[in-house]
Amino acid sequence: MTDPGRKVNIVVHADHVAQTIDGFGVNINARYWNDGKLIPTLDLLRTDLGATLYRVDIWGKSNWPDPYSTLGPVALEPDRLARLYCGPVFRGGWEMMRYLNANGIEPYLTCSGVVPAWMCAADGVTLSDLERFCDMLVSLLVWARREEGLRFTLFGPLNETDIGPPEGPFVSPEAYTRVLALLDRKLNALGLDDIRFVVAEQARFDATYMRAILAEPAVLRRVGVWGLHCYSEYTPEQFREVRELAGATPLWMTEYGDLEQSGEREWYVAWVMTHRLFDLLEGGFHGALVWDAFDNYHDHDEAWTIYGLLRTGLRAYTPKHRYYAAKQIFHFVLPGFVRVAAVTADQGIRVLAFTDSERRRVTVAAMNAGTETVHLNVELRGFLPELQHERVTYYRTTATERCHTIGTIPVQGGNWPFRGIDASLPPYSIGTFATI
Q: What DSSP assignment string belongs to 232-295?
A: S---HHHHHHHHHHHTTS-EEEEEE-----SSS-HHHHHHHHHHHHHHHHHTT-SEEEES-SB-
> Given this model, what pLDDT does residue 61 score?
97
Q: Higher pLDDT residue, 301 or 156?
A: 156
Residue count of the chain, please give it.
Answer: 436
Give the model's pLDDT for residue 3: 78
Which residue from 77, 94, 76 is spatially nearest to 85, judged by alpha carbons?
A: 94
Helix (H) or strand (E) holding 209: helix 208-214
Distances from the Cα of 420 to the Cαs of 347, 372, 391, 417, in angstroms? Answer: 20, 21, 11, 9
Q: If we measure between CA atoms, which residue out of 86, 20, 21, 30 comes closest to residue 54?
A: 30
pLDDT value of residue 303: 87
- Using alpha carbons, list the distances in angstroms from residue 159 to 25, 124, 169, 202, 352: 18, 17, 8, 6, 30
Distance (Å, rounded) from C-alpha 372 to C-alpha 110?
Answer: 44
Provide, for the chain, the percentages of residues in helix, strand and coil under a 3-state DSSP scheme, each rounded to the nearest 5. 30, 30, 40
- pLDDT for res 167: 95
Q: How confident is the model over 127-180, as pLDDT tens digits?
A: 999 999 999 999 999 999 999 999 999 999 999 999 999 999 999 999 999 999
Specify whether the CB–CB gap between 303 and 297 falls below 8 A.
Answer: yes
% of the chain with per-residue pLDDT over 70:
100
**Position 102 pLDDT exceeds 70:** yes
- Report residue 45: phi and psi, to 5°: -60, -40
Buried b (16+ CB within 10 A) or exposed e, 13-22: bbeeebbebb
pTM of the predicted model as reported, rounded to 2 decimal places: 0.96
Pick from 132, 299, 112, 138: which is nearest to 202 by CA?
Answer: 112
The yes-or-no verdict on residue 411 having pLDDT over 70 is: yes
Q: Which residues contact 232 (CB under 8 A, 6 or more apart)?
A: none
Evaluate if residue 417 carries a pLDDT over 90. no
Average pLDDT value for residue range 244-257: 97
Q: How far apart are CA 110 and CA 237, in angstroms?
A: 29
Amino acid type, 215: A
The mean of the pLDDT values for the chain is 96
Q: What is the pLDDT of residue 302?
A: 83
> Which of 44, 52, 48 is CA-nearest to residue 286?
52
Residue 275 pLDDT class (50, 70, 90 cuts) = very high
Sorting pLDDT into bands at 50, 70 and 90, what band is 79? very high
**Tens digits of per-residue pLDDT, 204-222?**
999 999 999 999 998 999 9
Side-chain-side CA neighbours of 188 within 13 Å: the count stands at 10
What percentage of the chain reaches a pLDDT higher than 90?
A: 95
Q: Give the domains, in start order, of the chain with CATH numbers.
A: 6-16+338-434 (2.60.40.1180), 22-330 (3.20.20.80)
Return the SS3 of 375: strand
Using the predicted structure, report yes or no on whether residue 1 has a pLDDT greater than 60.
no
